[in-house]
Amino acid sequence: MTSASQTRTPAGGALAPPAGLRPGARAASRRAETRRKWYEIIGLTTPAVLIYVLFVLVPMGFAFYYSLFRWRGVGPPTEYVGFRNYTLAFQDPIFLDALRNNAIIVFGSLLIQAPVALGIALLLNRRFRGRSAFRLLVFVPYVLAEVTVGIMWKLILTDGGTLDALLRSVGLGGLVQAWLADLDVVIWTLLFVLTWKYVGFAIILLLAGLSNVPPELNEAAEIDGASWWQIQRHVTLPLLGPTIRIWMFLSMIGSLQVFDMVWVTSVPAVRSLGASATMATYMVDNGFFARLWGYGNAVAVILFAISFVAALLFQRFLLSRDIEGAITRKGK
């Protein structure tokens, strides 16, 4: 970066006095260079920062501001209520249901996807005929749009749909459920569909991580007489650590904000009864449909705060080793 700037900006160089002519000239030229560096940083980042500020930070500020009002979205907000919307949210049993559902999806995703993805990734990492075809099959659900997947599963799981017909045809008619309507079942159905959709992503990441494991280590372990299982357990897995942690991070944030799949697959009644609501669907149902704009903004802020805190904690305690160097600290 610095050397490139030196060769690319002759104007700055020409302005700087020749080195060694008088005392302090070296320091002056270094100052000029620092200034040049800052101009460059400002020049290159300003457009991005502007867009970020205008479309991310400013709306976030507005969301917080509006969340302090009792506001129906008609006319400007005038009725300031402080943090009343926040207390109301935590008193609403449906919002607490939504929180619980988000927690189920976060932990369910981590606990189910991790072992499944790891197993499949380890299998696919070996050489065998048709390996690329298998890999492709695994990735397909992840590549599909979430809404498409949602509609597809809705058709499969609907009352009297494909799954019910299949179960009946193999004599398991007793298992038939209202998969998307039974208030106790729907969240697990959703978890299954989300797992089906996103396990491919975990596998992609893990395979990328596996390709970074040097084969010599495995060979060495093999020569030492370690079994396949021992090699995976003591050599491969520890080296996959960073990849697994990054995946956990992305999965957690995605699970907290899940919206599309729930919106598409579950009917409004089941959602509003709390059985399949998530924080994001709760926000839209209240903000837009009940026209509680101030309240909807409060829910948005809560969702943001929870995601943000979760991300910070995760970075602080689990990701810190992996991102060493990515964050510059003073004095290093």
Closest contact distance (angstroms) between CB of 57 and another protein is 11
**313 φ, ψ (degrees, to nearest 5):** -60, -40
Burial class (CB in 10 A: 0-12, 13-18, 19+), 247: buried
Site for another protein in 269-288 (CB under 8 A): 269-270, 272-273, 285-286, 288
165 binds another protein (CB under 8 A): no
Give the contacts of 276 (CB within 8 A, at least 6 positions apart): 101, 186, 187, 190, 262, 265, 266, 270
Q: Which stretch binds another protein (CB under 8 A): 27-35, 65-73, 103-111, 316-324?
A: 65-73
168 binds another protein (CB under 8 A): no
Interaction mask 9-48, another protein, x per CB under 8 A = ---------------------------------x---x--
Q: DSSP readout, 88-129?
A: HHHH-HHHHHHHHHHHHHHHHHHHHHHHHHHHHHHHHTS--T
**Residue 47 or 331 with smaller CB distance to another protein:** 47
159 binds another protein (CB under 8 A): yes
Torsion of CA 224, 228, 230, 232, to 10 degrees: 120
Closest Cα partner for 290 from 94, 105, 147?
A: 94
61 binds another protein (CB under 8 A): no
Closest contact distance (angstroms) between CB of 40 and another protein is 15
295 binds another protein (CB under 8 A): yes
Closest Cα partner for 153 from 112, 196, 188, 184?
A: 196
Query: What is the C-alpha R_g of the chain?
Result: 27
Q: Which stretch binds another protein (CB under 8 A): 4-12, 225-233, 235-243, 289-297?
A: 289-297
Q: For the chain, what's the residue count?
A: 332
**Residue 53 or 96 with smaller CB distance to another protein:** 53
The correct pick among 123, 290, 309, 323 for binding another protein (CB under 8 A) is 290
**327 φ, ψ (degrees, to nearest 5):** -105, 120
The correct pick among 17, 59, 73, 119 for binding another protein (CB under 8 A) is 73
Residue numbers at the binding site for another protein (CB under 8 A): 42, 46, 49-50, 53-54, 70, 72-75, 88, 94, 158-159, 178, 180-181, 183, 267-270, 272-273, 285-286, 288-292, 295
